[in-house]
Every structure is written in C-alpha cells, then in structure tokens.
Amino acid sequence: MRNKLWGRCLVVLAALWGVAAPAQAQSFAQGTFDPTIPTLTETVGHAPGTRITSPDQTYAYLKALVAAAPDRTRMVQYASTWEGRPLYYVILSSPDNIARLDAIRADLANIAAGRASNGAALPVTWLAYGVHGNEISSTDAALMTAYHLLAAQGDARADKIMRETIVVIDPMQNPDGRARFVNNFLAASGIDPAADRQAAEHDEPWPSGRVNHYMFDLNRDWFTLSQPETRGKVAAIRSWNPVVVVDLHEMGGDESYFFSPAAQPFSPNLTQAQIRAYELIGRANAAAFDAMGEPYFTREVYDLFYPGYGDTWNAHQGAIGSTYEQASARGLVFERRDGTELTYADGVRNHFTTSLATAGAVADNPQRFLSDFAQYRAANANGAAGRGTYLIDLSKRRWNAESLGRRLAAQGITVLRREGPASACGKSFPQGYLAVPQAQPAARLVKSLLDRDTPLPPDFLEEQERRRSQDLPHELYDVTAWSVGLMAGTDVTLCNAAATGDALAAETPIAPLNEGSGAFAIAVPWTDSGQARLVTLALRDGIKGRVTDKAFTSGGNTFPRGTVVFPAGDNSPENMARLAMLAREVGAHTVALASGWVDSGPNLGSESFVRLSLPRVAIAWDDGISQLSAGAMRYVLERRLGLPVTPIRTQRLARADLSEYDVLLVPEGDPSAILGEGGQRTIRDFVRKGGVLVAVGDSLETFSGGDSPMLAVKREAALGRDPGAGGDDAEAGLAEALEIATDAEYREAIKDEKALPDTLPGALLNVVAQRDHFLSAGYDDGGVVLATGTQIFTPLDRADGVNVLRFAAPGNLIASGYVWDENRRQLAYKPYLMAQRQGRGLVIGFAHDPSTRAYLDGLDLLIANAVLVAPSRVR
Ligand SMILES: [Zn+2]
C-alpha cells in the first residue's frame, strides 16, 4: 500500500519537475534540502501524501521540526479541545527575525491599534489548516510547508519568505475531528486503498470528522466563540495581527481547486484596497498552478458575506482573509466521475503549492501589505466606518448583554461599561449600558456584528430574484442575518452619543446582582440565560425550588412568570449558602424574600407554584439526526445551562427503556425510517405515560403524520401550489386540454404542484407569544428566532394544542436579513413553538432549531422552558 502510493507520488513529482526527487527531499518542490531537518518519514515512518498523518504524528513531527531549528521557529499551544488534545501554532522566520520577535509583535500591536509603526514590524502570513477535520490533505500540506521553509537550500522564494515575513502555521484547527476521521478511515481500510467512493473508508459514520467534539462547524463559530478551539484561535490571531489569513479546506472530490478572489456576495464592510489585494494573491496562486498545469477556479461558490467564516471574520479585522479549497480524496485515492484518479498526495501538493505561493506574494510586497493593514486600522480608528456608538441596555437580558460584551471584547473590540442608572441617546438605562464605539480599529467587524442588518449587494439580489423567477436555485451559501444583539435577545441602540465607561475585558466575570433582604426564600427571576443556568446548577446540587406560571409582586419587586423560588423552609442552611455561592459564580440575579406574603399574584403555597426537579434528559443521536443540530442542542443544555444529557442512538430507540427519562429531545433530521414503527411506538408510549417529547425542525414531520399524529400539524407546500391536484382525474387516462398562450401560462403549466416553499437561507424573524402558556415564560414581549429552510407548518387548532409562539404579522415579521416575499407572506402567523398534550405527557415542537450554532442565546429560556421546566409542569 505504502510503496504503491509513494511510487504514484514520485511519478507525480517526476512529471512535474522533470527530475526524480532526491532521497532526502520530501518537499513537493524541487531543490536540495538540509539533512539536519528531519523528514516526515524519519519522524513518523511515512512519506508525505502516502498516509493520512494522525494528530499524534502531527504533534510529533512539529516538535521534531522545531527541535531541529530552534533559531527559526517558535511553537505555541493556544488551546485544548473538549477531548483534551492540544492546539498549536508554529512561527517560522529567519534567525534575525525570531531573535527580535517580541519587538516585531509589539510594533504590530501598535499598528493594529491605529498608531504609527516604529519600523520593527514585519507582515505576518497566517496559514490555518484542517478546520474541518475530514478535509485531510491540508494538515499534511502544513507539515510540508513548514519542512520546506526550514529545509530548502538555495530556494530564493523560501529565503525571501523567511527574511521578509513571519509565517504562522496552525496545522490542525480541529484535532478531535481529524482523529475521528483517521480512526474511521483506518478501521475501514484493507490491503489496498479503495478508489471506489462507496467504500467504507470514504464514507464516514455519524458524526463525521468535519465537526468538533460538540459537532460544531468551527468555520461558522468565529464571532460566537462558543468552542474552545475558536476562543484560543481568535486570541492567538489577535496577538499577531496577520495581514493575510488563509483557511485551507477540501471540497467534493470531483472539483478542482478554489482560491480567492471569492464569489459574490461580498460583505459591504470590505474595502476597495482589500478587494485589490485579493486579486494580487489570486494571481500569485494562479501562476503557481499554471506552472503545474493544474486546473482551478475563482469567484464562484465561496463568498465573503457571513462574518463567522475564517475568511470574512479576518477580513473584518483588516487582513486579507481567504478560503482555499482542494478536491478531497477523502482517503488515499479516489476515482472521479470522469474516470481519473485523485490521490491524497495530489491534494497535499496543491495546498502546499498555494501555501508557498501566498506566503511568497506577501514576501514580494511586504511594505504594501503592512501599510494597507496599517491604513485600514488607523482609518477605522479615525471614524472611517462611522463615529456613532452602539449602546447595549443592561436592564434587558442582563446576563446575555454582559456575556455579549465579553465576546466582543475577546475579538479585540473596545467595549466600555457604564455602571448604574444613566441616560444617553434620549433613552434611560436604569441598570447602565455597554458602549461600543464605531471609531475603533475593528470598526468593520463591529458594524458587521452589531448593525441590525448587513445588506446584500443590490445587483446580487436582483440576480437571485431573477433565478427564482426561472425556478433556479438561489446562490446564497449561508444565513443573511446574524445581528448579535438581536440573537442575544438584548436591546442595542446606535446613536451619536460619545461613549463613556470603563473598558471591559473578556475575562472579567459577570458580577452577581443581589437584591431584597430577608431569610424566607431566594427568588430567581426568569429573565436571562444566567438565571436558567443558576436554577439548573441548584437543582443538580439537590437544592429544592418551585416555579410559578404566573407573575407576582412582593416587597415592591415584580417577578415575571417562570420565576423560581427556593424557600429556606424546603432547604437546609447549607443548601441556601450553596445557592448563594452558585449565584456568585454564575453572576446571576437573585432577590431575597422576607415573607411568603405577596402583594399581588399567587402566594408561594399556591398551585401556580410547582416543585421543580432536575429532569433526566435523553437526546436522539446518530443516523437520521442532524449532527449539527444534535451537537448544538447538547452543547447549549450541557455547557451553557449545565444540564447533563444522555445520547441514545436512533437505531436503539425502538427497544430503549425510556422510563429512565423525563424528556426525549429529537433534534433536526429525518429519523422516521430508522425509528420505524417500533421506535414510534416506544416514543408514543413514553409520552402517554407522562414523558415530554421535544421535536425540532423537520423532525416534527416524524411525529405529525398518520391517522393519529402526536402533533396535529402539517407541513405546507409552496404558496399557490395544490399538493392534492391531479389525484381525482388520474383514472381518466387523458389530461385536461390546456391552451398555453403566454410565458407565464407556460410556467404555470410546468410547475410542481407539490413543491415546497423556496429555501430560506436564514433570517431573524419576530415571534409573538401566547402569554398564558408556561412554555413562553420569559417571552411576554415576543422574541427573535432564526428561520431557515423550507419548513412551514399549519397552526395547531384549539382542540389539539397551543401555538405557544407564532411568527408575527407579515408587515412586522422580519427582524433582520433577507426573506423571499412568498416566504414572508406564508410564514406570517404560522407556529414556531407548538405544544400538544398526549395522554399524561406533552409533545413540544420547534419549527426551527433554537440552538443553531449556539448563537441564539436569547432563546435559552425557551429551551429551558421546554426541557428543564416542562416535566415538572406536566406532572
Ligand atoms: Zn471546509
């Protein structure tokens, strides 16, 4: 296997360069190589491109390279994964540059702050590989790039890169995912690598190596920072202020190679200078590929719009941020549809080629890249992107607002915190505010995240509407809305007031808020994510609480419905002290009550208060379930709220003993075929006996079909279609005569009567609460949700259940983003959150996932209502 492939690799090399590679050379470029720099073969036992280098082998080789060239390298651990694997970056430059690395870094920080350079700075090219762990060739390319820069002798380009620039290589952004891929690949492999794409070694089991431990797409997480890999990476990049950032990926095996310039749409927050620099780098990559005779494409598919991508986020910091994509062999050899074979070595070589070409482009133009970056940061600091201030109200979803402020600070954004009552912008802020000035070096990232809307380019939109009118699919790659203030459920105002307050640091703990006095009970108002986390942690520690479904007032304080009260009479003094400690740790809001007497609303002994106990939660896992949805839901429950979740594989659910659980969560997906009748029966029994079923997104359909659906809703076809059409006349054999006189009539004649609504790429929409239901506690004023895809459900009728949250009226529906007009009209008034009693239990349906990417933290209370509170209410 090894000889055969290395032979293939050598053939490639020989064909490329017209020479046989010398024994020592393990680069994909010609030359002589320093024998004191260890090769991959010497260190881990295989040559580049002949095996998929595992995470452990990657670490071993990086350490060997750094040990062999201590004067030209630095290796830094920047994070650890959920599964305990380290993440490293390696700095490469000439001995002179490495010797003055601290001075270079300090001057780069000067420039990034919008100040003048002292002349010490050099441009940093940041090359990041393998963010998707099953996009395998990039990590091996990272190792070869590092080897080449250290070992190549007499290579003028490598010398120039080391002399004129700093190269930072992050070889493996998602080691947990890569380990998963490599393990699955090795477990399925046999005597020879299989080229057949159907072979198990190319066909990963659930979950794929693309995602990290909590099954997040790390290339969507850059501004959410929910995952440790992203938090560490963002801090590392901020500390180096690179001028160029490349994120190297893989795409389908039948493609060729993609590099920037990117496709439309571009974010309006890019500058003309940036767009010119993309062209310069693109031409350098093109020249390298032309020399190899390799095909490539630019300006298609991969856009620069959503700021959670590695390319766009870094572009909003002033770097030239790019995505490169290599066709994936998803193994060692892959037969393409055109009959040719793609090898792993091909992919490694191509990513190696663009890595060096891109670093070379920076080395050829070091002053241009540095001064473009300096001008970008200084102009923003001087107000080029605006001079207003975003004010985030700390009296609404306080914990989420504080948490958002820290996330922004972690991205290098200046956030000021004004404590206590204040007024600004003609508004009063009874608990103060966070102020984010527009005039700062990262202004365009600030705008992109905090503006309510980031408009799509009008000509791009026009083209998409034209495509839709021709029944062609639209070309939007991701969501059109991500306004972080809306997603956190906070209130953000942009005005011209000057920003005042103390600088907020990302690490500053959220301060607890303690009010009231007395020893009768501690009340936890149901107002934000921190409150839900405190209640969950308290229940886990055995502290006894009661939850109300009606608002009450006591001692001059108003407590919204959903408030949880922990009476001293139900708890030991130790438990009450433990509760106070947890509240401090979380930074939660608690109110001490002196008496059970209330001024209005139910007394604590009323039946409106029910005993709240920690639910036992299972989540449907594995085939038939979306790994992104399952991972995000589990992450929000476990890591944000603190509630442990037990995954049960869909294949086992038919024979599972669900009596061990209070809640079964079924994330997005289509599990019906795998559940089968047995699984449906098990779940129905579970609910009838008092269980809570929470179904999300298209999984709702699994429970809404048949003669006696568990949730009596139906999915709707597109507007103007009639899914029942044609049924009655089927026996006649002849079709009704039809005269077609116009283009419009022709389109009408060929339309698909069963077509679903056009896919919504993703927009933030307003929902309205049915205020009497416990599931909407915390949402009396409605909320903002993310809607994506094609699913629109009919409302539950009164006899069947409650539409707890429904989409707002058409004129008030859109909070942010672009929505096709038919979607807007059809979604209005349709259910978002539904509840239907079944026997002694309850079925809860979310039409769209509230946990997507863990970035809708404004919906955490809704998730807590459905998972944490519902079992106690149902009993
Ligand atoms: Zn990728």
Torsion of CA 777, 778, 779, 785, to 10 degrees: -110
- Residue type for position 257: Y
From ligand 1's centre to the CA of 323, what distance in Å?
9
Q: How far apart are CA 344 and CA 195, in angstroms?
A: 11
From ligand 1's centre to the CA of 250, what distance in Å?
5
> What are the residue ranges in the chain where pLDDT is below 50?
1-24
From ligand 1's centre to the CA of 286, what distance in Å?
21
CA-CA-CA-CA torsion sign (499, 502, 503, 505):
negative
Strand partners, 266: 304
pLDDT at 27: 81
From ligand 1's centre to the CA of 248, what distance in Å?
7
Greatest CA separation for the chain:
91
From ligand 1's centre to the CA of 3, what distance in Å?
30
pLDDT at 732: 59
From ligand 1's centre to the CA of 242, what distance in Å?
21
From ligand 1's centre to the CA of 127, what distance in Å?
14
Q: How far apart are CA 841 and CA 819, in angstroms?
A: 36
pLDDT at 315: 98
From ligand 1's centre to the CA of 249, what distance in Å?
4
From ligand 1's centre to the CA of 207, what distance in Å?
15
From ligand 1's centre to the CA of 183, what distance in Å?
19
From ligand 1's centre to the CA of 218, what distance in Å?
9
From ligand 1's centre to the CA of 24, what distance in Å?
32
Residue list, CB under 5 A from ion ligand 1: 132, 135, 249
Q: How far apart are CA 831 and CA 305, in angstroms?
A: 30
From ligand 1's centre to the CA of 687, what distance in Å?
40
Please write the tens of the pLDDT for every residue from 803-814: 999 999 999 999
Q: How far apart are CA 746 and CA 734, in angstroms?
A: 19
From ligand 1's centre to the CA of 378, what distance in Å?
33
From ligand 1's centre to the CA of 131, what distance in Å?
7
> For residue 566, which of 598, 521, 601 has the smallest C-alpha distance?
521
Q: How far apart are CA 528 and CA 719, in angstroms?
A: 37
From ligand 1's centre to the CA of 130, what distance in Å?
8
Q: How far apart are CA 316 and CA 223, in angstroms?
A: 11
**Residue 464, φ and ψ in degrees, nearest 5:** -70, -40
pLDDT at 24: 47
From ligand 1's centre to the CA of 170, what distance in Å?
15
From ligand 1's centre to the CA of 612, what distance in Å?
43
From ligand 1's centre to the CA of 212, what distance in Å?
12
From ligand 1's centre to the CA of 86, what distance in Å?
21
From ligand 1's centre to the CA of 167, what distance in Å?
22
pLDDT at 1: 37
Number of Cβ atoms within 10 Å of the Cβ of 798:
8
**Residue 466, φ and ψ in degrees, nearest 5:** -65, -45
From ligand 1's centre to the CA of 285, what distance in Å?
19
From ligand 1's centre to the CA of 321, what distance in Å?
15
From ligand 1's centre to the CA of 818, what distance in Å?
25
Please write the tens of the pLDDT for every residue from 646-676: 999 999 999 999 999 999 999 999 999 999 9
Cis bond before residue 265 (omega within 30° of 0): yes
Q: How far apart are CA 814 and CA 833, in angstroms?
A: 17
Q: How far apart are CA 408 and CA 56, in angstroms?
A: 34
Q: Are strands 663-666 and 692-696 parallel, antiparallel or unpaired?
A: parallel
* HSE, side-chain direction, 13 A CA sphere, residue 178: 29
> For residue 382, which of 303, 453, 318, 438 has the smallest C-alpha distance?
438
**Residue 235, φ and ψ in degrees, nearest 5:** -65, -40
- Which two three-digit tokens encode residue 292? 């190899």
Radius of gyration of the chain (CA): 29
From ligand 1's centre to the CA of 823, what distance in Å?
30
From ligand 1's centre to the CA of 362, what distance in Å?
24
From ligand 1's centre to the CA of 208, what distance in Å?
12
Q: How far apart are CA 210 and CA 135, in angstroms?
A: 7
From ligand 1's centre to the CA of 251, what distance in Å?
7
From ligand 1's centre to the CA of 346, what distance in Å?
17
Torsion of CA 150, 151, 156, 161, to 10 degrees: -10
Which parts of 336-418 fold into alpha helices (H)? 344-364, 366-381, 398-410
DSSP per position, 473-505: PP---S-S---HHHHTT--EEEESPPP-SEEPP
Q: How far apart are CA 657 and CA 665, in angstroms?
A: 15
